[in-house]
Amino acid sequence: MLLTKFLLYCGILLIGFSSSILYYLYLRLRDIGKHYVAFNLPQTISKDYLRNRTEFGWPAWPVYLMWAPLACGLVVFVIGVLSLR
């Protein structure tokens, strides 16, 4: 049971970390005048950020850093959910 809780909490933390990076990207795009709906897909924000990054001198690594913890967090969370009894 302890491992299950650990997996669930780690999955939630990784997804939350990814969401905070997504919010950072959203704020960058909002500062240049791009407006999105409240629950826009991460693909849209990622593509738009990468499209505008050369013009404003932004690095590309936040986009890639956002996707890694999201994928790992979802996998860890699903493993934690499946191990519940």
Number of H helices, E strands in the chain: 3, 0
pLDDT at residue 35 in the model:
80
Mean pLDDT of the chain: 90
Whole-Å CA distances, 42 to 1, 6, 33, 79, 81: 33, 26, 18, 23, 23
Domain boundaries, the chain: 2-82
Cα(10)–Cα(20) distance, integer angstroms: 15
Please give the model's pTM, rounded to 2 decimal places.
0.85
Q: What is the pLDDT of residue 39?
A: 67
- Tell me the chain's radius of gyration from C-alpha atoms: 15
What is residue 45's predicted lDDT score, i.e. its pLDDT? Answer: 86
Which residues of the chain are under the pLDDT cut of 50? none
